Structure 1
């Protein structure tokens, strides 16, 4: 009579792949999934790979990382999820979900943290850190934010620390925002500009992504001339000072 040998079930990943790519937005809460079937008392661990080194993050249900943003969030029946809160650029890279079988099972997860790009343009679609307007004209600024995988946050405009989106005290302020696939576009209009409108204007997506431009409102001098001549005037002034010093030294001899 022939004896039949029964083998103990071997753990295996529920998903049919051993390498996964995950993308998340800067500042988001992201989960790295690791679904294991027939665990049979084996232990699941999460590791962070840096070159040839592996740093232990979780072992079973326990977290060993010194970074409190990392934790193990087990979801029945088989998902050993690694939770990362407020993802930042330093979190980007390869992670390994390991099962303590022989040989060990390894699921490689590569995390990409997408950092949105903010650019503030003027009415001519030109980017500049400083913008000059004539008193009585309309300030027009356009904020373009790209690389947004899931635009869930609202765009706000600020003048210094004052939010402009719902500002009714100044009057003449208009904000128009379009959330588009992968990017966002927001326009700020301020009618009848005056000297009190001078200052830093910041476009913000949530609390982490922002861009700033300095606006000057001028009485009398032409804004266009100021914008194109600022750099030239600075260089000319330096040369005038140097030449004056040189000439004065010659006459003193």
Structure 2
């Protein structure tokens, strides 16, 4: 329903923006739904949410009635009755209504859309990669792309297992370069002079929202030769056999 300005109710309150509004928020972020009301006077603004045939009262005036503490009314002068949703979840997506207590009530629908960023570790061609192989003493280079981000962020973390690498000064030779010049953020991890200790699971993450991962193998010359011979399944068989040789030798020695 639109405003009543210009008719017999020319003293009634009205919404400053009367078109349907769509808000896009990133999963885990704070969503803010604006509702600017002019000439409110003795009327009251409330927020409700429709879920199926059920109507849930979220706020009434300056008071919050939702049992979910993530919802709150954040009034901004001079006339914005803003609904705030913290730590957004997928289930928060849907239609919300800002209402003015006229008779009949005036209603401004606001659609909230929740978007989850996509984090992927890719190869030089941009294809998603699950494993990467490097020779000893080479430089590890892992590229991570982050897309579908409605809100710009730079808080991108690289981890090796549980160990955070972004600010690691103990090992040396570690650097992270992040390019935010396009809609897709690219973060690249460099680790110089790779050793067998650098093998393992690497993750690139955007806070607690989304994570991409890759398994890195550091091979000596003998292991690289085994992997490079043959193709397809035989590569993995040869590689697995090379990794098992030290354990088999130790077992034979014990016998």
TM-score by shorter chain over 0.5: yes
Residue-by-residue CA offset, 1:67-92 (whole Å, 9 max, x unaligned): 10100111222211101111222211
> Equivalents in 2 of 1:151, 1:9: separation in Å?
42
Aligned to 1:239: none
Report the alpha carbon displacement of residue 137 of structure 1 after superposing the two structures with TM.
2.7
Aligned equivalents of 2:57, 2:228: Cα separation in 1: 59
Q: Return 5+ residue gaps in structure 1 as ranges.
A: 1-5, 235-253
Shift in Å, 1:34: 0.8
In the superposition, relative to structure 1, how do residues 178 and 226 fare at CA in structure 2: closer, same or farther (>3 Å)? farther
Q: How does 1:77-96 map to 2 (within 5 A)?
A: 77-96=78-97
The 2-side partners of 1:19 and 1:75 are apart by: 21
Change (3 A) 1:8 1:20: closer
Higher Rg of the two aligned structures? 1
SS at match of 2:87: coil
8 A Cα contact 2:117 2:209, kept in partner = no
Partner of 2:23 in structure 1? Answer: 22
**Distance of 1:148 and 1:165 partners within structure 2:** 21
Partner of 1:9: 11
Aligned partner of 1:141 in structure 2 is: 142
1:195 corresponds to: 196
Task: Give the superposed CA RMSD.
Answer: 2.6
Superposition TM-score, scaled by structure 2 size: 0.80
Consecutive unaligned residues of structure 2, counting only runs of 5 or more, are 1-7, 239-255
Asked if residue 127 in structure 1 is aligned to residue 131 in structure 2, the reply is no
- Equivalent pairs counted in the alignment come to 229
